[in-house]
């Protein structure tokens, strides 16, 4: 096993991505076997703890309040509701729960305190807890770490260049800043992106450069295929082909050998054969549950049937990193600071986002 490389260039990554497929698959599967058990795949459950009404303008997202989509918004779930769902997920083979809230950034206050309690509760169920709550200060990252958070998800989505074509309400450097804040703690980093948003292959490579040159590299990288939702600016995008997905997974595996590569949104558009090829190419996690935040996902039973067919075993929790200790709220060293950080608002104009917003105004 060689040392992990942190100096990948776009040219290096494009050369890998564009290899003849059989060669690419062989190389990726070889790297995968050197670093992971090829018959083990982690099952994670994504819970939308606060859905819809988001002030951001991410072009792919049905939860952005400015677009007209069929999403029903919900207030923050209770700790008891989250606990019940986590127990259900655990009994069907999940070892990780990722809680997502449609927030621009975390704000200190009762809602964040409630999320911290959810983290404590799930960590005590011996499951890996991940959160995706938007931008985060260092103090907030430390409070999550103290509660027992295992991972924080904050996707880069695409290359720095193409990011500007998808989101105008925050900058790429804001994403990196939050990842950096998480890195100041023992919480692991989960960061990946979406293909099929109209980006070029160069942008996919650009995103992998941004992720693979982080030191350390993210412990987890979700690769999503866009699920084009009606009412969003990207509603008319054609689905990506399975070959693009396999190439993306294989390239991610080669440039980030230790990382958990996660097959995320878009699995309902993939056949079982296609998913098997992704596992061969180095994907070692899936998301379970009938919904991925708001978009459809295969049924848990179907996934278990697929695992049986392929001889795959669900990964146990805390296999790759230690189980964090939970510090109770009353013993906390880090109190709410009531910060009001200045995250950037580039507010450049993205034409298709503006069109979707105008359309929503006339249909709402
Ligand atoms: S992806 Fe997240 S930040 Fe962007 S609109 Fe959706 S919920 Fe908001």
Which residues make Cβ contacts (< 8 Å) with residue 5, sequence separation at least 6? 212, 255
Per-residue model confidence as pLDDT tens digits over 12-21 = 999 999 999 9
Buried b (16+ CB within 10 A) or exposed e, 106-118: bbbeebbebbbbb
> From CA 18, how far away is CA 245, in angstroms rounded?
13
Q: pLDDT exceeding 90 applies to what percent of the chain?
A: 85
The β-bridge partners of 195 are 225
Which residues make Cβ contacts (< 8 Å) with residue 101, sequence separation at least 6? 48, 49, 50, 76, 115, 131, 132, 133, 134
> From CA 103, how far away is CA 56, in angstroms rounded?
8
The per-residue DSSP string of 93-126 comes to T--EEEEEE--SB--SSHHHHHHHHHHHHHHTTT
Per-residue model confidence as pLDDT tens digits over 256-279 = 999 999 998 888 889 999 999 999
Mutate to test the pocket of ligand 1, among 61, 98, 166 (most ligand atoms within 8 A of CB): 61
What pLDDT is stored for residue 291 in this prediction? Answer: 67
Per-residue model confidence as pLDDT tens digits over 216-254 = 999 999 999 999 999 999 999 999 999 999 999 999 999
What pLDDT is stored for residue 30 in this prediction? Answer: 98
What pLDDT is stored for residue 2 in this prediction? Answer: 63
For the Cβ of 56 lying below 6 angstroms from any atom of ligand 1, the answer is: yes
For the Cβ of 63 lying below 6 angstroms from any atom of ligand 1, the answer is: yes
CA max distance for the chain: 58
Under 8 Å between Cβ of 293 and 99: no
| Closest protein CA for atom 2 of ligand 1 | 102
> From CA 360, how far away is CA 4, in angstroms rounded?
47
Per-residue model confidence as pLDDT tens digits over 27-44 = 999 999 999 999 999 999
Q: Which two tokens stand for residue 273?
A: 């054969």
Minimal CA–CA distance to 280: which of 299, 261, 255? Answer: 261
> From CA 324, how far away is CA 42, in angstroms rounded?
18
What pLDDT is stored for residue 265 in this prediction? Answer: 85
Q: Which two tokens stand for residue 84?
A: 């019940």
> From CA 182, how far away is CA 141, in angstroms rounded?
6
**In this structure, what are the phi and psi dihedrals at residue 344, rounded to the nearest 5 degrees?**
-75, 155
For the Cβ of 61 lying below 6 angstroms from any atom of ligand 1, the answer is: yes
Closest atom, ligand 1, to C-alpha of 64: 5
| Closest protein CA for atom 4 of ligand 1 | 58
> From CA 58, how far away is CA 20, in angstroms rounded?
34
Q: Which two tokens stand for residue 160?
A: 């720095």
> From CA 54, how far away is CA 64, in angstroms rounded?
5
Q: 278 catalytic, yes or no?
A: no
Pairing mode of beta strands 128-132, 151-153: parallel
Residue 339 has pLDDT above 90, yes or no: yes
Q: 131 catalytic, yes or no?
A: no
Give the three-state DSSP class for 167: coil
Span 339-356, mean pLDDT? 91
Closest atom, ligand 1, to C-alpha of 104: 3
Residue 231 carries which DSSP code?
A: T
Span 141-168, mean pLDDT? 97
Long-range pairs of 16-22 with CB within 8 A, sequence gap ≥ 24:
16/250, 16/251, 16/254, 16/255, 17/201, 17/204, 17/205, 17/247, 17/248, 17/251, 18/201, 21/243, 21/246, 21/247
Q: For the CA atoms of 214, 166, 348, 341, what is the dihedral angle to 10 degrees?
A: -50
Q: Ligand 1: distance of its center to the CA of 224 in Å?
A: 15
How many residues are listed for the chain in this entry? 364
Per-residue model confidence as pLDDT tens digits over 169-213 = 999 999 999 999 999 999 999 999 999 999 999 999 999 999 999
Closest atom, ligand 1, to C-alpha of 132: 2
Q: 262 catalytic, yes or no?
A: yes
What pLDDT is stored for residue 290 in this prediction? Answer: 63
Per-residue model confidence as pLDDT tens digits over 94-115 = 999 999 999 999 999 999 999 9
């Amino acid at each position: 096993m060689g040392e992990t490389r942190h100096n990948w260039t776009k040219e290096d990554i494009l050369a890998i991505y564009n290899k003849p497929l059989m060669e690419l698959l062989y190389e990726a599967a070889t790297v995968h076997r050197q670093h992971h058990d090829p018959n083990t795949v982690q099952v994670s459950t994504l819970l939308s703890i606060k859905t819809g009404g988001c002030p951001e303008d991410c072009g792919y997202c049905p939860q952005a309040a400015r677009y007209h989509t069929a999403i029903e918004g919900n207030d923050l779930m209770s700790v008891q509701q989250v606990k019940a769902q986590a127990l259900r997920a655990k009994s069907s083979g999940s070892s990780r729960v990722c809680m997502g809230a449609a927030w621009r950034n975390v704000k200190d206050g009762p809602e964040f305190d409630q999320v911290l309690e959810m983290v404590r509760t799930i960590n005590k169920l011996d499951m890996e807890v991940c959160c995706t709550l938007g931008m985060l200060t260092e103090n907030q990252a430390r409070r999550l770490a103290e509660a027992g958070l295992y991972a924080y998800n904050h996707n880069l989505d695409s290359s720095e260049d193409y990011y500007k074509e998808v989101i105008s309400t925050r900058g790429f450097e804001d994403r990196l800043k939050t990842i950096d804040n998480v890195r100041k703690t023992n919480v692991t980093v989960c960061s990946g992106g979406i293909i099929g948003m109209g980006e070029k292959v160069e942008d996919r490579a650009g995103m992998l450069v941004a992720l693979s040159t982080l030191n350390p590299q993210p412990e987890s990288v979700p690769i999503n295929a866009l699920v084009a939702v009606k009412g969003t600016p990207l509603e008319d995008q054609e689905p990506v082909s399975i070959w693009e997905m396999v190439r993306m997974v294989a390239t991610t595996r080669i440039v980030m050998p230790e990382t958990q590569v996660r097959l995320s949104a878009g699995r309902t558009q993939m056949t079982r054969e296609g998913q098997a090829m992704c596992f061969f190419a180095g994907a070692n996690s899936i998301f379970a549950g009938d919904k991925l935040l708001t978009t459809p996902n295969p049924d848990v039973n179907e996934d278990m049937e697929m695992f049986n067919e392929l001889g795959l075993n669900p990964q146990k929790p805390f296999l790759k990193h230690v189980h964090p200790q939970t510090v109770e709220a009353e013993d906390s060293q880090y109190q709410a600071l009531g910060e009001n950080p200045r995250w950037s608002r580039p507010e450049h104009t993205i034409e298709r986002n503006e069109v979707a917003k105008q359309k929503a105004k006339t249909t709402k």
